[in-house]
Amino acid sequence: MKTEPYNRRRGDSKAIYVWLLILSNLLVFQLGRLFDANSTILSTPSFTNPQLDIPFPPTLHDVESRIAYAAAHPLSVPQGSVPNLPSIREANAKVDQERKIYGGAGDKLHLGGFTAIDAEGISPGVWTYMLEKLGVRSVLDVGCGRGISSRWFLEHGADVLCVEGSHDAVTQSYLPSSNIVEHDYARGAWWPNRTFDAAWSVEFLEHVSLQYHPNYIATFRKAAILFVTSSRWGGWHHVEVHQDDWWIRKYESYGFRYDDALTKAVKATVAEERQRLEFFAPANKTLGAAHVGQSVKVFINPAVAALPAHLHLFFEHGCFRDYNKGVITNRKCGEGRQGWKETVLPPEFYPLKVNPQDGLNWQAALMAGVGNPGENK
């Protein structure tokens, strides 16, 4: 068997090494050019949500692109804002007569369904729990009717935005015009330009047909905690009446997380409130909050709850005081003999305090508004 000389084989190895060295240098050169090109692309200015400080593609400066982007990214927080689409008026005397006790004169069939005072959706006890126990400071009231709930939060120092589709309800609102957005979700999606601690939506879900869910879910995506109810019976344009498990499954498929413990806590608050059966002067109603007590569901939206602007939610004092029978008792940091060693929370992390006088102011505002349609408070 004939073999090649050792020196020749060694020469071939050197040649291969030289070629590999040349190829590696060419590869490094090409990668460098590619990096420079990508750096140029990445340095292209992009629009930024001023609150979240999250860059998004520069093409989203127009409304259509924002809506398309939100539809293509259904689990993300919608960027920026889009203009509201007010309801289209439709005079129909027969429909208005059929409404009977319900408002909505001049609105299309799918709108209206509100009453002057619906005591079954009024729960100052739950609202107090939201402010003092959960640390809610801002509320997005979706399907707010005349703004009864919104007015309570406004009187108690919260940042409030009320969204309503019925033009009839908006013209009779208990709120300043700066706190109201008239938007018909049957016409398209809408969301505000900022995020909120909570969305409150009572007697709304059953009124909006399934094909329009994406339009109002885009609004809910701007809130950290959702408080929603769903009807167990028929009513004006009740087109989505389902058991709680259907809603829970549906909303979890939208990316929200059902919180069973908070739901039970809210229901317990309503039960305690109903035992007092407080008389409510406007329209001679007795507070019962049946809509809330029977079907309220609380969801967490992690995409918003995790933002630095909402760190104050679920407030508890963090410094240890005692441990007894499996229960931790905490105290305010910075107090006591050892307080000088502890980090103190800034004031903005502490919950709003409910003042009884604010509640009286709220009742007075509602009493002044009953029987005065068309007067925007």
Give residue 106's pLDDT band: very low, low, confident or very high (50, 70, 90): low
| Fold type of domain 79-89+116-310+355-368 | Rossmann fold (3.40.50)
Mean pLDDT on 97-118? 67
Is pLDDT larger for residue 298 or for residue 116?
298
Where does the pLDDT of residue 288 fall: very low under 50, low under 70, confident under 90, or very high at 90 and above? confident
Q: What is the spatial distance between Cα 57 and Cα 43, in angstroms, rounded to a whole number?
A: 12
Rounded distance, CA 373 to CA 377, Å? 10
Q: Is the pLDDT confidence value at 48 over 90?
A: no
CA distances from 312 to 128, 192, 234, 293, 318 (A): 16, 21, 39, 26, 12
More confident residue, 336 or 140: 140
Distance CA(346)–CA(343), nearest Å, equals 10
pLDDT at 32: 54
Least confident of 89-98, 141-150, 215-224, 332-341: 89-98
What pLDDT is attached to residue 34?
47
Least confident of 104-113, 134-143, 239-248: 104-113
Task: Tell how far CA 357 is from the center of its chain.
Answer: 28
Averaged over 29-42, what is the pLDDT? 44
The residue written with tokens 């701007």 in the block is 222
Q: How many helices (H) and strands (E) does the chain have?
A: 12, 13
Query: Does residue 108 register a pLDDT over 80?
Result: no
The DSSP element (H or E) to which 226 belongs, if any, is strand 223-228
Looking at residue 222, the DSSP 8-state letter turns out to be T
| Distance from the Cα of residue 214 to its chain's centroid | 14
**Residues whose CB falls within 8 Å of the CB of residue 334, separated by 6 or more in sequence, listed in order:** 319, 340, 342, 343, 344
Q: What is the pTM of this model?
A: 0.79
Is the separation of the CB atoms in 264 and 234 below 8 Å? no
Give the residue extent of every domain in the chain.
79-89+116-310+355-368, 318-349
User: Which of the 8 DSSP states describes residue 76?
Assistant: S
